[in-house]
Amino acid sequence: MQLAAKPVSKEAQIGGELHWDLPSLIARVVVGHWRDCWHALFPLRSLWIAGTLLAVLLCLTVRIEGPAIEKIEDELEIPEQRGSLQLLFGLIQLQVFRDNAATGEFLQSVFLRWALGPIGVLLSLAGTASLMPSFMRSGTAMIVFTSPANRALVVLIRYLGAVLICTLFAGLFVLYTTAAVAWALHCWPGAGLLALGVFCIHLAPFLAISMLLGVWLRRSALALAGSALVWLLCQLANLTYWHVQYFAASTASTHTLVAVAYWLLPKPADMMFLIEQLSGVHSHFSSWPELQWAWDSGKMHVLLSLLTTLLAGGIAATLAGLEAKNAELP
C-alpha cells in the first residue's frame, strides 16, 4: 500500500525558500549598499585618483645622475663626489650621497608619511562628509528605512563600506607610487603596504564620528568640520599623555585626567607612529621624542592602543545607527 504524500502549504514553501536564500539575500543587500557608497563617494575617488596620478608622475621623473654612488656604512661620512637627484625632468635638483635603494626608500617615505598620515585621514574625511547627509535627504532613505529597526544596520553597512573604499584607494596610492619609484630607480623601495591595516584602524573612529554628525546635523560641512576638530583634539590628548609620561612632572590629578582621556579617545598620534615604524619612515624622518621614548622604553602598549581606537570607532558607529533609528525623514 502506498501512502499519499502530504501536501505542502504555499507558506511553508515560501518560508523554505527564504531560509535557504537568506545568506545570498544578505550578501545582495550589503553589496547593494556598498555599490551605492561607491557611486556616492565620487568626490573621494576623484581626490585620491588625482593625488595618486600626480605622485606617480612625480616619481617617474626621478633620476640620479653624476658619479657612481656606493652605499656607505655611516651616512655622516659624506663622500667627496656626490650625485644629483633630479625631479620634474631636472627642474628640481638635490645633492645626494645615498645609493639608489636608500634614495628610493627616502622618496617613498615622504609619500607614506603624509598619504597614510594626517593628509590621508583628512582627505578621506573630506571625501566622505556628504555620504550620510545626502543619503538622509534623498528619497532612497525613505525606501530603505522601511522600519526603525533596520536603520542602524543600514548605517553600519554603509560605514564599513566607506572605510573599505578609503583603505582601498590608500592602498592603490601606496602600490602605484612604490611601483613608480621602483621603475625610475630600478629598486624596490620598501613595504608600505604593511601599514595599511593601521591606517584603516586610524581612520575608522573619525569616519564613524563624521557619519554620526552627518545623520544628526544633515550638513556635510558640519560633519567635516566636526570630525576634523575631534581628530585634532584626540591628537592633542594623545600627545599630552605621552608628554606627561615623558617629563613625569605633573600632579596626580593631572596624570589621572590625561590618562583617562588617552584610554577613552582614539589615538591618532600612536597610529601615525606605528605607520612610520611599519613602513620604514622612521629611518628617514624623526618622530615626536615622547613617542620614540615610549616605544624604546616599552611603555607603548601597541595592542591595547589599536583595540581601544577600534572600540571608539565601534561606539561612534553604534551611536550613528541609534541616531538614524530615531531620525525623522523629510
Residues 65-106 pLDDT 10s: 655 444 445 555 555 555 566 666 656 666 665 556 666 677
Query: Averaging pLDDT over each range in 85-99, 140-154, 187-201, which range is the top one?
Result: 187-201
| More confident position, 121 or 15 | 121
Predicted pLDDT of residue 59: 79
Q: How far apart are CA 228 and CA 205, in angstroms?
A: 12
163 in Cβ contact with 207 (< 8 Å): yes
276-293 pLDDT tens trace: 888 776 666 667 888 989
**Residue 208 reports pLDDT greater than 90:** yes
The type of residue at 328 is E
Q: How much of the chain is helix, strand and coil, in % rounded to 5?
A: 75, 5, 20
**What is the CA 71 to chain-centroid distance, rounded?**
34
Report CA-CA distances (Å) from 52 to 96, 103, 120, 171, 321. 25, 20, 11, 10, 33
Q: How far apart are CA 62 and CA 42, in angstroms?
A: 31
Rg (CA), the chain: 25
Predicted pLDDT of residue 242: 92
List residues bridging with 206 in a β-sheet.
none
Predicted pLDDT of residue 84: 60
220-260 pLDDT tens trace: 999 999 999 999 999 999 999 999 888 876 677 788 899 99
Which strand ranges, in their side-by-side order, compose the sheet holding 92-96?
63-65, 83-87, 92-96
Domain ranges, ordered by start, for the chain: 41-58+99-326
User: pLDDT band at residue 180, thresholds of 50, 70 and 90?
Assistant: confident
List residues bridging with 95 in a β-sheet.
84
Residue 5 φ/ψ, nearest 5 degrees: -70, 135
In this prediction, what percent of the chain has a pLDDT beyond 70?
Answer: 72
- For every residue of 189-202, DSSP letters joined together read ---GGGGHHHHHHH
| pTM of this structure | 0.80
Can you tell me which residue has the cell 563617494?
Answer: 41
